[in-house]
C-alpha cells in the first residue's frame, strides 16, 4: 500500500473499464486522481466513492481544450501532476483498408493518437517544472501484430507505441518517463461498443466476455481491467524509475501464439501429407500440450 502516496494523476477514460480499475487502484495506493471522461453519471459515482481523493472532470479527449482543462484541474485541485495515463479510447471504425473514410480515420486518430500527444503537450511543462513525472498510454497488442483489431484502430495503437519510443529520449533529461501498455483480450465493454451493443448492456456481459476469452491465450483466464491497472501502477510509480520508452505487453501470452492442441493443429496438413494417422496425431498433440 502507498506506492503512489503524495502523487497526483490524471486518468482519461476513467469512468469505466481499464480507466475505472486504474483510478480505484491509484487511490488505494495513495494517489489523488483527476478522473477525466464524458460519462457524467459514472463520473459522479466515482467521485462520491473516492470523496476527497478523486475529482471527476468532463473531458472529451478529441477536444484539445478539454485535455488542457483536465491537466489544469490536477494542479488547481491538488497542486501538482505526477502521472498522466492516456487511456481513453474505443474500437472505432471497422472498415477494411479499401473502405475507410476520412471521417472514420480522423475520429480514430484524434481519439487515440492526437489525444495522447496533446496529453503530453500539456502535462510535460507541469512535470518539468516540478522535477519529473511519468506518462503512460494505453496501446494494444493490435499495434504490435496483425489480426487483433480493425485497421484504423491497429494503426492508431501502433502509432502510440512509436510515439512512446520517440518521446521518451526527448523527455528523459527532464526526468519524465514515457511508457505504454499493450493489453490483450481484456473484459471491458469496448468489445460490445465496437459491435454496436449499447454500453450498459455490454457491461452486463463482462463475465461472459472473460469466460469466452480464457482459452484464447496460454494463461487460461480472461483478462480484467485490474491486470492493466497493475501495469499502470508499476509504470507510474518509483519502482519503474529506470524504465522508459517501453511497450509493456499484458496479454496472457496471446501474442506468443497458440499452444497445445491449437499449436499442433497448425501442422495438421503437413502431418496428414506425411501419412500419419489421426490417432497418432492426437497422441502427439496430447504429449505436447
Which residues, in sequence order, are CB contacts of 139 under 8 Å at separation 6+?
A: 157, 158, 160, 161, 164, 180, 181, 182, 247
Nearest to 61 by CA among 124, 110, 121, 122: 110
Domain limits of the chain?
A: 8-256, 258-289
- What is the rounded distance in angstroms from the CA atom of residue 116 to the CA atom of residue 82? 16
| 153 catalytic per annotation | yes
pLDDT value at position 92? Answer: 76
Q: DSSP letters of 16-50?
A: SHHHHHHHHHHHHTT-EEEEEES-HHHHHHHHHHT
CA atoms in the 13 A half-sphere facing the CB of 199: 8
pLDDT value at position 259? Answer: 58
pLDDT value at position 289? Answer: 46
- What is the rounded distance in angstroms from the CA atom of residue 250 to the CA atom of residue 141? 9
pLDDT value at position 222? Answer: 85
CA atoms in the 13 A half-sphere facing the CB of 236: 35
Segment-wise mean pLDDT, segments of 10 residues, the chain, 289 residues: 94 96 98 97 97 97 98 98 96 86 95 98 98 98 92 96 98 98 85 54 66 80 93 98 98 80 55 63 54
Residue with cell 508499476: 234
- What is the rounded distance in angstroms from the CA atom of residue 26 to the CA atom of residue 162? 26
pLDDT value at position 288? Answer: 46
**Which of these is catalytic: 56, 122, 153, 234?**
153
pLDDT value at position 114? Answer: 98
For domain 8-256, which architecture applies?
A: 3-Layer(aba) Sandwich (3.40)
Cα-Cα-Cα-Cα dihedral of 30, 233, 91, 169, to 10°?
A: 120
Amino acid at each position: 500500500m502507498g506506492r503512489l502516496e503524495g502523487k497526483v494523476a490524471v486518468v482519461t477514460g476513467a469512468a469505466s473499464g481499464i480507466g475505472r480499475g486504474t483510478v480505484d487502484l491509484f487511490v488505494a495506493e495513495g494517489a489523488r486522481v483527476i478522473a477525466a471522461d464524458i460519462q457524467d453519471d459514472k463520473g459522479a459515482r466515482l467521485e462520491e466513492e473516492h470523496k476527497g481523493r478523486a475529482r471527476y472532470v468532463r473531458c472529451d479527449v478529441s477536444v484539445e481544450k478539454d485535455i488542457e482543462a483536465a491537466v489544469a484541474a490536477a494542479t488547481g485541485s491538488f497542486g501538482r501532476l505526477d502521472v498522466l495515463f492516456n487511456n481513453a479510447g474505443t474500437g472505432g471504425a471497422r472498415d477494411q483498408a479499401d473502405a475507410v473514410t476520412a471521417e472514420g480515420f480522423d475520429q480514430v486518430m484524434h481519439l487515440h493518437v492526437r489525444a495522447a500527444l496533446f496529453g503530453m503537450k500539456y502535462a510535460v511543462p507541469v512535470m518539468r517544472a516540478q522535477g519529473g513525472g511519468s506518462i503512460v498510454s494505453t496501446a494494444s497488442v493490435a499495434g504490435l501484430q496483425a489480426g487483433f483489431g480493425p485497421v484504423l484502430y491497429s494503426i492508431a495503437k501502433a502509432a502510440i507505441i512509436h510515439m512512446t519510443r520517440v518521446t521518451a529520449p526527448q523527455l528523459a533529461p527532464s526526468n519524465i518517463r514515457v511508457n505504454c501498455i499493450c493489453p490483450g483480450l481484456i473484459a471491458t465493454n469496448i468489445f460490445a461498443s465496437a459491435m454496436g451493443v449499447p454500453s450498459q448492456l455490454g457491461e452486463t456481459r463482462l463475465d461472459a466476455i472473460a469466460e469466452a476469452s480464457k482459452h484464447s491465450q496460454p494463461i487460461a483466464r480472461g483478462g480484467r481491467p485490474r491486470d492493466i491497472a497493475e501495469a499502470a501502477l508499476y509504470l507510474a510509480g518509483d519502482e519503474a524509475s529506470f524504465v522508459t520508452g517501453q511497450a509493456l505487453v499484458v496479454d496472457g501470452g496471446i501474442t506468443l501464439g497458440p499452444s497445445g492442441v491449437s499449436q499442433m493443429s497448425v501442422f495438421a496438413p503437413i502431418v496428414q501429407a506425411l501419412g500419419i494417422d489421426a490417432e497418432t496425431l492426437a497422441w502427439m498433440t496430447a504429449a505436447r500440450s
